[in-house]
Amino acid sequence: MGATTAERAAMRRALELAAQVPARGPNPRVGCVLLDADDSTISEGFHRGAGTPHAEVEALRRASESRGPGAARGATAVVTLEPCNHHGRTGPCVDALLGAGVARVVHAQQDPNPAASGGAARLRAAGVDVLGSVLADEARALNATWSRALELGRPVVTWKVASTLDGRAAAADGTSRWITGRAARHGVHRLRAGVDAVVVGTGTVLADDPDLTVRHAPLTGQQPERVVVGLRDLPASSRLARAAAAGEAVMQLRTHDPHEVLDLLWYREHRHVLLEGGPALAAAFWRAGLVDDVVAYVAPVLLGNGASAVADLGIGTIADAARLDLLDVAVLPRDPEDPTDTPTVRLTLRPRKER
């Protein structure tokens, strides 16, 4: 039997519930709606992040609170993700659903996590009626970055680059504040607010002394972890060294290997990282095939000399040029109250992987 009209409506509601949580951290956003035999809603639940009850468990708890023990017996659970089948910080949702006597499970996206998948098969084996792939595209879009990370087996890497029209990231004397406009800089803070970690090289720390925190955008939860890659020591007077000394989430990885960086960040349960540079580190990630998305801020400014936005990519001929697909273009206007501000063009791109 396919999904009923009530079940599809409940799935849309479950997607709305899941979307209340920021798309950060190691766990997906998941919503659940329990329906009784008359297609009326018994209860709802959504997952609030790692270590908290999963959506199904939360919905079952609320059902018991509102209608008493056994409230979910014979019910239909409508869930945006295939119920998990493993022990992590919490127990398997499959166990909770079976224990509650749920008769039917309708889920959207199949779980791409090999450690957690198999829930649908186990439910079927226990006699539960299971229907999958209901509004699956919408569910995947809700957890697009998380899903990509699970499929890649590493964090998704978004490279943020800011440059002049002639591809410079700094002037000949090393100055770079500010090439792009205020709206672009605030946009970078919104990018930071949506990732688990912000990554720069030691050269950027020495040249720019960045803070790398979210300050000009709303932030839910903790600041993203600040990560410095490279062998050189951080100056004790630098903002990041002072932040680390104060116990803030700053980490230095003494390596030049991008794969090693992502392996460690994956181990620390980071699923999305923002690569902010500089040119050498960006080139290292690119040459390793580890750049998944690019957000480029290009200002109508010419320098003619100075540091390039990216270092040598090992490309010697136009036939080997790196090509990217253009996903979005936006013009960020200058502040009319500030004559020193500049408009900036934001390009959102995705590298063309070899087919």
Phi and psi torsions of 63, nearest 5°: -65, -45
CA distance 343 to 334: 4
Contact 197, 269 (CB under 8 A): no
Contact 275, 191 (CB under 8 A): no
212 is in an annotated binding site: yes
Cβ partners under 8 Å of residue 323, min gap 6 = 351, 352
216 is in an annotated binding site: no
41 is in an annotated binding site: no
- HEC states along 231-243? CCCCCCCCHHHHH
281 is in an annotated binding site: yes
CA distance 249 to 200: 14
Phi and psi torsions of 124, nearest 5°: -60, -40
215 is in an annotated binding site: yes
164 is in an annotated binding site: no
204 is in an annotated binding site: yes
CA distance 307 to 197: 25
Contact 287, 138 (CB under 8 A): no
CA distance 97 to 125: 13
CA distance 295 to 204: 18
Selecting among 7, 16, 44, 56, the annotated active-site residue is 56
193 is in an annotated binding site: no
283 is in an annotated binding site: yes
Half-sphere exposure of 347 (CA within 13 A, CB side): 16
CA distance 274 to 156: 9
Positive or negative torsion for Cα 61, 66, 68, 70: negative
93 is in an annotated binding site: yes
Contact 251, 222 (CB under 8 A): no
What the block records as the tokens of 197 is 């970690």
Number of Cβ within a 10 Å radius of residue 134: 21
Q: How remote is the C-alpha of 194 from its chain's centroid?
A: 6
171 is in an annotated binding site: no
276 is in an annotated binding site: yes
Q: Is 82 a catalytic residue?
A: no
146 is in an annotated binding site: no
In the three-class reduction of DSSP (H, G, I as helix; E, B as strand; rest coil), residue 65 is classed as helix
What the block records as the tokens of 190 is 């919104």
316 is in an annotated binding site: no
Q: Which residues are annotated as a binding site for substrate?
A: 176, 192, 212, 215, 276
Q: Which residues are annotated as a binding site for Zn(2+)?
A: 54, 84, 93
Q: Which residues are annotated as a binding site?
A: 54, 84, 93, 162, 176, 178, 192, 204, 208, 212, 215, 276, 278-284
Q: Which residues are annotated as a binding site for NADP(+)?
A: 162, 178, 204, 208, 278-284
Residues classed as catalytic: 56
